[in-house]
Amino acid sequence: MSLNPLELFAQLPGAVAQGLIWGIMAIGVYITYRILNIADLTVDGSFCTGGAVCVVMLLSGYNVGLSLLCAFLAGMLTGLATGLFQTVCGISAILAGILTQLGLWSVNLNIMGKPNQAINVNNYDLLVSLRYLQEVLKGTRPFYWSPILVAGLFVVVIVGLLYWFFGTELGCSIRATGTNLHMARAQGINTDFNKVLGLMLSNGLVALSGGLLAQYQGFADINMGRGAIVIGLAAVIIGEVVFARIFRNFALRLLGIAAGAIIYYVVIQAVLWMKLDPNNLKLLSALIVAVFLAVPHWKKSLTAPFARKGGGRDA
């Protein structure tokens, strides 16, 4: 078995493009996980909803812009469902997400009509496609068609919009809702409304990302969102660990999350290049995320006054 570095190098542009597309999803996860302080599992379903809506609309002859917009709106509806489960029905955040996710399985199948809907890049005008990437690299297509550029543009515009939004009165009140419910209510903030709004925004972005990925890979699949939340968390955590010290500004931190997704995909490519059985990828992802989530906890208990060294107090 020989490892050819050139082979890995050839895979890099694809990893970066995929990372950027998933980066949009990761930014959506950041909104719930970090800003609203909710672990939202809707993501695994809404990612596929975005892909399904986008592909089915393209197949029905709508243009790519409208298809992506509808994917975004459909994602917002999934967030609305989870949000109403949490606020109106009083269901815990985790369970609310799981319920929506489960229900979306049927919804997504209904949208697509079958578990897998392919879309041929030869017959439709797509915004991003693996084919475009290959053609740009070969020089048979102008550089501005590169999915890296297009997805990168999406990321930059989205980060810009979010930077503005979370600086507004409404955006600030959403941040306060995620930080301290008591304080938010005492300051007259409608915390239920804000939670729903945040979940909608988050899942809208997740679905948009799903719409882009479906185009990029040329199909939407009922399983395309499976484990998406873990990839999103991985990107958020990697982005924070790598860039937290350098990026204090909110917009830069969001860009750091997208960069985290790129790093994740480059690492995955590298692991595949080392001939790891792809079936074990999900196990690897789960372990990586678990370790990264555990590290801050371990750090805390090591530095806490009564931990380990000074321990024995409550023994």
Site for another protein in 108-167 (CB under 8 A): 165, 167
Distance CA 172, CA 126 (A): 36
Residue pair 200/80 in contact (Cβ under 8 Å)? The answer is yes
- The DSSP 8-state label assigned to residue 167 in this structure reads T
> With binding defined as CB under 8 A, does residue 175 bind another protein?
yes
Q: List 117's β-bridge partners, or say none.
A: 220
Total residues interacting with another protein, rule: CB under 8 A: 22
Please state, in angstroms and rounded to a whole number, the distance separating the CA atoms of residues 146 and 141.
8
Q: How far apart are CA 170 and CA 177, in angstroms?
A: 11
191 binds another protein (CB under 8 A): yes
Least distance to another protein, CB of residue 229, Å: 22
Q: Segment contacting another protein (CB under 8 A): 7-15, 90-98, 189-197, 219-227?
A: 189-197
Residue 168: name the closest of 291, 250, 106 by CA: 250
SS3 245: coil
Check residue 188 for interaction with another protein (CB under 8 A): yes
The amino acid at residue 215 is Q
Q: Can you tell me which of 140, 186, 277, 309 binds another protein, judged by CB under 8 A?
A: 186
* Binds another protein (CB under 8 A): choice among 169, 245, 279, 297: 169
Q: Is 11 in the site for another protein (CB under 8 A)?
A: no
Partners of 208 in the β-ladder: none
CB-count exposure of residue 84 (10 Å: 0-12, 13-18, 19+): middle
90 near another protein (CB under 8 A): no
Distance in Å, CB of 16 to another protein, minimum: 31
- Separation of alpha carbons 79 and 43, rounded Å: 9
Among 170, 283, 293, 304, binds another protein (CB under 8 A): 170
Residue at 85: amino acid letter: F
Binding to another protein by residue 190, rule CB under 8 A?
Answer: yes
Give the binding range for another protein (CB under 8 A) out of 59-67, 188-196, 257-265, 291-299.
188-196
Of 41-49, 72-80, 185-193, 300-308, the window that binds another protein (rule: CB under 8 A) is 185-193
Which parts of this chain interact with another protein (CB under 8 A)?
165, 167-173, 175-176, 179-180, 182-191
